[in-house]
Amino acid sequence: MEVHHHPHIPTHAKPWKEYLLEGLMIFVAVTLGYGAENVREHYVETKKALISAKNLYVDVINDSIGYEKTKTNRNKQDSCFEIINAHYNNNELDKEIPAVYAAHAHITRRMLYQMNTLALDEVKSSGTLKFLESDELKAAIQRYASFGSGLKLREQREFSYIDRMLDPISTKNFEFNFNRAAGDNFRIKDNKIVVTVPIPANLKIMKKDQLDWDNYIAILGMLQTIRLSTDVDYIEPTQKQCHELLTQLRNYLIKHDALGE
């Protein structure tokens, strides 16, 4: 005859200490799991921040090069104006038509480097900034970013002036092909503009009788004044902040053994 055994069901309650121990173990397990997840998330975000810092470092290096090239080109533009202005003051412009062409072509070029904001915007918008483990670096990034809008405004100011005041003179009074060639092929030697391409025998200022030299020099002088203001108040401070950020980024990457990765 088959015998059925019923499971033993305890009829007495657990001691309260046992309940407390079980609850404590569950609490510890949950807390440790939550903490481990936070540590893992922080590690991942910190690694992402390091990658973003490296990308920003590359952009800022290129910015530094761009500002320096801009300063060199703009200094050459200033030199061209000073030479042409000296010819004007000495009533020599009619004798220096090739130099006028070269100077005009170079002076009217738009040369104002704008910072690369791709990595900069990514750092600011993605929340990466808070995971950078350097308050000095964070502050340097924010300061540098603040200069971007100023450069854009100055670009609009300068380029708009050239559009309105100088482009009409370029199309009306300067022969296009030589104007373009002269702007790329000249050097400054002994405070003179030396054109290094063949000069057409019949080169002249077109519609010369309609070009007011006094007004022309005044327009160029105002452009130089605008550019000087841009150089002193915008480009130089931006370049200085760029170098500071570059130093902060380099030190941060070296500290985290990530500069050469």
Nearest to 154 by CA among 82, 232, 220, 216: 232
Has residue 102 got a pLDDT over 90? yes
Q: What is the pLDDT of residue 163?
A: 97
Q: What is the pLDDT of residue 31?
A: 61
What DSSP assignment string belongs to 39-75? Answer: HHHHHHHHHHHHHHHHHHHHHHHHHHHHHHHHHHHHH
Output the average pLDDT for the chain.
87
How confident is the model over 193-215, as a mean pLDDT? Answer: 94
Q: Is 190 left (phi over 0), alpha (psi -120 to 50) or beta?
A: left
What's the predicted TM-score (pTM) here? 0.80
* pLDDT 10s digits, 223-256: 999 999 999 999 999 999 999 999 999 999 999 8
DSSP state of 210: G
66-70, 129-133, 175-179: range with lowest mean pLDDT: 129-133
What DSSP assignment string belongs to 123-160? Answer: HHHSSGGGG-S-HHHHHHHHHHHTTHHHHHHHHHHHHH
| Token pair of 41 as six digits | 């998330």
Q: What is the pLDDT of residue 64?
A: 97
* pLDDT 10s digits, 38-76: 444 444 556 777 888 899 999 999 999 999 999 999 999
Q: Which residues contact 208 (CB under 8 A, 6 or more apart)?
A: 173
Please report, for the chain, the start and end positions of each structural domain, with discontinuous segments joined by +.
16-255
The identity of residue 59, as a single letter, is D
Measured CA to CA, the distance from residue 163 to residue 157 in angstroms comes to 10
